[in-house]
């Protein structure tokens, strides 16, 4: 029921997967509002947490919402994974409160793949929006979970993990970054983390790291800045290439632009992944079309089959949280 183009595009993507692959798809939502769902089974849920609803309140009050019921289906073993293009904060809160945190995890984080054209496989950015406020101990765990994700999903043997900062030197950055640098450089988190130091905002498309760790505020700003900058330039170019007098040039260019445009389109990445909860939860763009949903479902299926959650769980070592805080509904969008 969630997403700017729901339920039409969501149902269309789900039906396409069910028709063309062996993956079994279950829809969760208001049966009367979903249009033609074909042969797909439907888990009924009478409520919807809207895009603008407060995530924590939404999950607590709307116990029969599609998001809460989807997370419960995973918790109860009726589904192997959940996919949502709806309210990101509510998706996280549903997954966290119904599936629960993995042992030792202070806070779950959103891992987003950033396309890297030089080497063909993405760089993983986390946290890209789950936790506006973080401790160094949380960032160390993000490093562990991000490395486990890169190993499993992109088959990187020894993923390089970097901290997002404003200079390469360990003396650069916020107190949070400097403390985390020290912890990671000292080997906190164990052998799973191959820490390569700081990277900067300009390094997102370079092949110098496999995982970029940051707090959810900085990560969200950086991700949206990156997406917005690319979209701005691509839209300006599209305008130019649409000029009637440039039709011939545009036709000649098109086959060459496609291999560039395809990996940069968030529709094709399969969405972001909530790491640290006890189940697979894929967060798709709010603007997802059926293409994005097909990719998100495929990725969710593959990750569940591959045992990603087990690997993430095994990667996380106990870290004393400075404030001793407990996980709760978080503040992402």
Kindly tell me the burial class for residue 281, based on how many C-beta atoms sit within 10 Å of its own C-beta (0-12, 13-18, 19 or more): buried
Q: Is 45 or 114 the residue whose CB approaches a second copy more closely?
A: 114
**Smallest separation (angstroms) from a second copy to the CB of 173:** 6
| 244 near a second copy, rule: CB under 8 A | no
| Smallest distance from a second copy to CB 222, Å | 5
Q: How far apart are CA 91 and CA 14, in angstroms?
A: 18
* Matching residue, tokens 């029969």: 64
Q: Which is nearer to a second copy, 54 or 302 (CB)?
A: 54
Q: Which is nearer to a second copy, 203 or 302 (CB)?
A: 203
Q: DSSP letters along 41-108, please? A: -EEE--B---TTS-HHHHHHH-TTBHHHHHHHHHHTTS-SEEEE-S-HHHHHHHIIIII-BPTT-SS-
Where does this chain touch a second copy (CB under 8 A) — which range of 74-82, 94-102, 104-112, 171-179?
A: 171-179
* Total number of residues that touch a second copy (CB under 8 A): 59
Toward a second copy, which CB reaches closer, 191 or 258? 258
Nearer to a second copy (CB atom), residue 42 or residue 196: 196
Provide the 3-class DSSP secondary structure of residue 274.
strand
CA angle 29, 279, 326 (to 5 degrees): 105
The CA–CA distances, whole Å, from 281 to 30, 193, 321 equal 21, 23, 24
The tokens describing 128, both together, are: 């890209």
Residue 51 in the binding site for a second copy (CB under 8 A): no
Q: Can residue 203 be called a binding residue for a second copy (CB under 8 A)?
A: yes
Question: Binding to a second copy (CB under 8 A): which residues in 71-110?
Answer: none
Could you say whether residue 262 binds a second copy (CB under 8 A)?
Answer: no
Instruction: Count CA atoms within 13 Å of residue 148 on its CB side.
Output: 25
The CA distance from 109 to 213, in Å, is: 10
Q: Is 314 in the site for a second copy (CB under 8 A)?
A: no
CB of 169 to a second copy, least distance (A): 8
Rule CB under 8 A: say whether 132 interacts with a second copy: yes
Q: Summarize as ranges the residues that interact with a second copy (CB under 8 A).
A: 54, 117, 129, 132-133, 164-167, 171-175, 177, 200-205, 214, 216-218, 220-234, 236-237, 240-241, 243, 245-246, 248-250, 252-253, 256-257, 260, 264, 331-333
């Amino acid at each position: 029921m969630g997403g700017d183009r729901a339920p039409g595009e969501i149902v269309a993507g789900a039906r396409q997967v069910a028709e063309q692959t062996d993956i079994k798809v279950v829809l969760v939502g208001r049966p009367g509002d979903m249009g033609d769902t074909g042969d797909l089974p439907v888990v009924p849920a009478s409520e919807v947490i809207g895009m603008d609803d407060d995530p924590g309140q939404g999950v607590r009050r709307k116990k029969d919402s599609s998001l809460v019921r989807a997370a419960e289906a995973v918790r109860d073993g009726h589904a192997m994974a959940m996919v949502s293009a709806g309210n990101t904060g509510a998706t996280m809160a549903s997954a966290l409160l119904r599936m629960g945190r993995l042992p030792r995890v202070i806070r779950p984080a959103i891992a987003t793949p950033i396309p890297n054209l030089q080497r063909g496989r993405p760089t993983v950015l986390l946290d890209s929006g789950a936790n506006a406020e973080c401790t160094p101990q949380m960032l160390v765990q993000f490093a562990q979970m991000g490395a486990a994700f890169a190993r499993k999903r992109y088959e990187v043997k020894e993923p390089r993990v970097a901290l997002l900062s404003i200079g390469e030197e360990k003396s650069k950055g916020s107190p949070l970054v400097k403390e985390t640098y020290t912890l990671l450089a000292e080997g906190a988190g164990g052998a799973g983390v191959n820490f390569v130091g700081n990277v900067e905002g300009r390094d997102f498309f370079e092949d110098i790291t496999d995982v970029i760790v940051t707090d959810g505020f900085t990560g969200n700003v950086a991700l949206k800045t990156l997406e917005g900058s690319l979209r701005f330039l691509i839209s300006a170019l599209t305008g130019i290439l649409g000029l009637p007098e440039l039709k011939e040039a545009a036709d000649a260019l098109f086959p060459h632009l496609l291999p560039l445009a395809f990996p940069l389109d968030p529709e094709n990445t399969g969405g972001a992944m909530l790491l640290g909860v006890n189940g697979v939860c894929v967060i798709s763009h709010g603007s997802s079309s059926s293409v994005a949903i097909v990719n998100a479902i495929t990725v969710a299926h593959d990750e569940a089959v591959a045992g990603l959650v087990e690997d993430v769980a095994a990667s996380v070592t106990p870290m004393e949280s400075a404030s001793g805080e407990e996980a709760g509904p978080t503040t992402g969008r």
